[in-house]
Chains A and B, each alone.
Chain A
């Protein structure tokens, strides 16, 4: 998973593919042809998918290990991730918008976001899969939807939060300008709210999509008891390759994965970041900019321009005119009415709102009570076991955080302080970080077990694998943000190494370190579900822990234990966030903020 701190990475590695001079010659025909090619490819992809999805589900999917099968598998995996992402984006915007503008439910929605963010998504896997398969019993689409929804639940929350906080921090005078100049809600969304939130959404999208790979690997290899829900994809390919010990297949799989991630970076994120540059809410123009040849291609294609001129623009104009007319009509209708009538109408709306609210509360209450009924089946010994497991996992999570900090802080500071080192190390670290930890799990577990270590220690390493990057990248960003005059002061007065770390480096990177640790801690809890319990070549490796209990309950279909263990895990994550991370965060914001 990549977590790129702001203004980082892209600003440094932009020379690699930037051959914009070539594109600046006006090869309009070539550009149009390539755009047409892209469209055709998309069309074919949709046809292919439709044929596959609406086919009958093959009960046992054989994962072919031939490299020739890889392009198709990779294609399926990519589609899953981007479908989930599209869903996340829409949901995040709707959720953030509703939360920001409905004062009555705002607090509830934000608390919900906070909790949903901390719940281990993987616990929902069996429920979601079973529900979706039940919905579409004879179609492949049920399974696919299950996987997509699961990836979605792993991606959406940070995006929703980002959009919400952007809306909340809109400058007051800009908002007033939209009111005084009679913007319709649509125009306000298009010209103020979305542009203002764009940069935050883009960065969070990158984090989300990277996180999507993590969950994808798990979703594609889902087995519930005797039922096999495996999906053809890159994740299942890698896992099958690992469990059969096919070295060349593992290499092919990893190569494809890295290629996809690098390509996504170049072909999707870079153009989007270059494009979103104009949404920066700044008064002065920055000198360093991200460029993208692909964006240049799109913006200069005559075909696309003509298409936009003849489709999008007339539609947009029609929309705006419609809104303006509606407003006029509304004004004409309300002008003679007295304030009392307006108040009555408001009351009418609020009655309807109450009915909806009651219905929602009713459904939630019904479901919650049924879920709690499940818990009655939990025996005392099982409860104690879950509690013990929670302690063991708590210990493991924190050990992995500690170990990760021990190597990432010195390395991160070194990279941050030495620009030349950064130029070499950063692209490497980014690629290393972008390989989802779950893809490497099978390979690593096999290696570790063969070396004789138990899964108990191996799982700590596995958790580190997924989460150390959050800490590393944040520490690098923190070290880069320490003003050079402060470093010069330390040099001038001959600070000892200990003094340098205590008075300059650690306080300087503290806010960044905390951000990294919070994210890493959440990630480690989630990873424990896969790290502590592993099935390979028809044998199950497991160690004692909350994650293992959740996975085992999923495997055997013991939903009451699954539910309780999930509640315990979510409770622990939320509690730790409130009691430990939030005060530390506050401290970082108030005391250790540089250039406050």
Chain B
């Protein structure tokens, strides 16, 4: 295996896999983007054996009406021996759902996942997951936590203890056997999580944002130790699959990166990374790659993939064609802040650099960029954000004028807000129950998303003084007149 791994290191280079036979239905919509030329290489000659193959897996939730909410559109995916695969994507792109389908934790709504060409549901896939929240049992000691999976397999106590202690030694937790997880720091707890995952000698090690609950330095340290274990073949694992929303982390670790788009989740691009380890964050090749991923994430998709049909032959409703836009969950204050920073950068800047300056991860930054874009305050092109005249005016104004600009932009661009305002005006008592809009949105979004959409709408509407919201009665009401008078006075 080591030979193959090295081969892929030296000869294998990343490329967009639109035409690759392992990923047939891959609608990679990055046609406007040029992958940095010094990284475009020929197809890998030696194909390592495939461990996991997902065939047209999708996830959707049936609604009481004919619609269904598509979370992940039909997707093909493979994980081969000797590779670290990173799955990147904005929140809501179904990264974790995809991981759970690949491990067999969650059954796809349609399609099938194969382990060594056997359906994952019927056999025993030897996997382990490292969880974001560590998922350790607080009432078991460190060594008991590591032993628990072995106990489940009916291993002898003495052998069990021996292996657990050895694994704890490997991850650098020697001497902490009898401690309880709550006595450990976050980084040490995640080490226990790694030890528990590796002690079952998984063929594929899955990781669900394993470093995102840790501070930056601890995460960095754990990442490099993980790479060391992997490259020295200290662990018996054949492949690693890591879900992350940190682009740099993906580029640091992965041999292959898959970027997901959302609404519904789908693969946007899938390519190999052939930078030699240890990778240098400051190297131009590295930053170019990070920049490329940012571009993919921020560039709107030109052509939509063909919509799948439900078993009854009706087209699945795609959220992009739906009535309501998906409101990005950003706060007005965040939007103003972003625009001000953009103004300082002469009105135009690379999103990657913005994120770097702010020490933001994509999950933090993208919703704000999306919201500003939705309101017409900025435009995004090739990974560059450029402020529009209305955005510049917004950023330069004082608070009451800002609210007015926000109000105009919101009513003009956001259907849901427009509808709430109209509904309030149409009612004689000038108040509308939240329930009403909940039911309307419910047709289009999942339950959780509906609640989040309404939360964002309330947040924006209150800020813009479009309406008020009575939280105890759950009703939208007209804002008090007093404030309009005062804002009018200031205008004059």
Contacts and interface: CB of A to CB of B under 8 A. Distances in A.
Contact of A176 (B131, B196, B200): B131
B148 A285 contact: no
A282 B138 contact: yes
Contacts of A177: 129, 131, 135
A179 B105 contact: yes
B140 interface: yes
A176 B137 contact: no
Contact of B135 (A176, A323, A325): A176
B353 interface: no
B151 A187 contact: yes
Contacts of A198: 139
A45 to B, nearest CB: 32
A502 B8 CA distance: 72
Contacts of B164: none
A323 B133 contact: no
B183 interface: yes
B157 interface: yes
B138 A281 contact: yes
A331 B124 contact: yes
A286 to B, nearest CB: 9
A181 interface: yes
A192 B137 contact: yes
A278 B139 contact: yes
Interface in B183-204: 183, 196, 200
B27 interface: no
B113 to A, nearest CB: 13
Interface string B94-138: 000000100101000000000000010111100111011101011
Interface string A161-204: 00000000001011011011111100100011001001000000
B278 interface: no
A180 B105 contact: yes
A195 B181 CA distance: 15
A183 B152 contact: yes
Contacts of A587: 472
B153 interface: yes
Contacts of A181: 128, 148-149, 152, 196, 200
B154 interface: yes
Nearest to B141: A278
Classify chain B's interface size: 20 to 34
Interface string A511-555: 000000000000000000000000000000000000000000000
A279 B138 CA distance: 7
Consensus secondary structure, chain A interface:
helix
B261 to A, nearest CB: 25
A325 B153 CA distance: 8
B152 A182 contact: yes
Given A173-B133, A176-B135, A177-B129, A320 B472 contact: no
B182 interface: yes
A284 interface: yes
Contacts of A560: none
A280 interface: yes
A171 B138 CA distance: 12
B127 A180 contact: yes
A90 to B, nearest CB: 21
B286 interface: no
Contacts of B139: 195, 198, 278-279
A546 B171 CA distance: 69
A145 to B, nearest CB: 36
A377 to B, nearest CB: 47
Contact of B153 (A173, A324, A337): A324
Interface string B461-473: 0000000000110
Contacts of B121: 339
A588 to B, nearest CB: 12
A280 B137 CA distance: 10
Contact of B180 (A278, A320, A322, A324): A278
A317 interface: yes
Contact of A183 (B100, B128, B140, B148): B148
Contacts of B183: 285
B472 A590 contact: yes
Nearest to B186: A283
Given A174-B137, A281-B138, A335 B153 contact: no
Contacts of A187: 148, 151-152
Contacts of B182: 282-285
A499 interface: no
A320 B153 CA distance: 8
A321 B132 CA distance: 30
Contacts of B131: 173, 176-177
A82 B122 CA distance: 47
A591 interface: yes
Contact of B148 (A191, A337, A339): A191
Interface string B144-161: 000011011110010000
A219 B127 CA distance: 57
Contacts of B152: 181-184, 187, 320, 323-324
B133 A321 contact: no
A325 B151 CA distance: 12
Nearest to B133: A173
A334 interface: yes
Contacts of A334: 122
Interface of B: 100, 103, 105, 119, 121-124, 127-129, 131-133, 135, 137-140, 148-149, 151-154, 157, 180, 182-183, 196, 200, 471-472
13 contacts: A173-B132, A173-B133, A176-B105, A181-B128, A182-B149, A182-B152, A183-B152, A187-B148, A191-B148, A280-B138, A283-B182, A325-B154, A339-B119
Interface of A: 171, 173-174, 176-177, 179-184, 187, 191-192, 195, 198, 278-285, 313, 317, 320-325, 331, 334-335, 337, 339, 587, 590-591
